[in-house]
Amino acid sequence: MKKSIIGLFPLIVFLVLLLAGCQKEVSNYSMAIDLNSKIYNGVFTGTIEKGVPIDGEGTFTVDAEGSGKYLFYTGEWKDGKIAGKGTLTDENYEIDMPGSGKRQGNFSGDVLNGIPNGNGTFKSQNTSGIKWTYEGEWKNGKMNGQGKTSFENGKGAVDEGTYTDNVYTPTLVEWVQNFGTRGSDDCQYTLSDAEKTFIQENSELIKRNDLKGLEGKIDQSFNIERFKKNANSFSPAFVKIKNANIIQINEYYEEPGQTVTFCLAYTEDYENVLSFYMFGDSGDAVEDSTVDIVLLPIDYTTYKNVSDESVWAVAGVAVKMDVK
């Protein structure tokens, strides 16, 4: 019996040493990986076996001179490759923006099998060189879900809401809120919960661009002076402003597939300014036209005129505008 044990001892020692030699902890171990169809040469920190990462956790870093961590991954590995959940920073991540082409930038966030899935941030710039940042949800390597895009210079809308495959696809409530973020010179506002509910319940009327269905829905008691005094005390409602005089009017096309009209107008007595957006075109309305407007007032706020003066105005969303 003793001989048998003694005879097995060298084999046991050999197996232990063999197994111990197969796996070892490494730090900054040089290796290359294939990630999203690109080959990266960097260093791995974790446990390797036969020269490759074992199934489990590990980090991979690619340094680029002058830019810190060019690529940094920490998370799960399988069969020597990035697989499973992790987080990634990639200073040269590329996305395809439908209608705008490819954009390269810095991605940082959650990944699944090396592909952005979860929450993440992407920083890039547009064709005019203006830097922008997206923060929000990702799925299958694209902006999908709830997110927010803002511009470094503070100009332009804050596109907050629903994204689908890298395209901002807002709900009506999100779109109306978007109107209230359009640059420091415009009338800015934030929708209250009551206004959000009202817009949701009347979405078809707001986007229809006609007066059908508005019978009995117009608040005849609306008073601009009371609204100016405390806009927050006003219960959301459609109102009719008669004989307004257009100061400025612009039509433009917005993704996804929507014509929008922006308008500045004086009230009939020239005492108050209206600043509003409307879904659809403005028909025959031009500057100096006299119009009747069915409007959802949202806030009383300011904008900068051409003389850089702050002008107070009633901001809102129009349902319909009729030229007199």
Residues of the chain with pLDDT under 70: 1-21, 65-69, 154-155, 183-184, 256
Residues 246 and 285: beta-carbon distance below 8 Å: yes
Helix axes 193-201, 172-179, angle to 10 degrees: 130
End-to-end Cα distance, the chain? 113
What value does the mean pLDDT of the chain take?
Answer: 89
pTM for the model stands at: 0.85
Residue 137: helix, strand or coil by DSSP?
strand
pLDDT, tens digit (0-9, with 9 covering 90-100), for 289-322? 999 999 999 999 998 888 889 999 999 999 999 9
Confidence (pLDDT) at 296: 97
- The secondary element (H helix, E strand) that includes residue 18 is helix 2-22
Confidence (pLDDT) at 13: 39
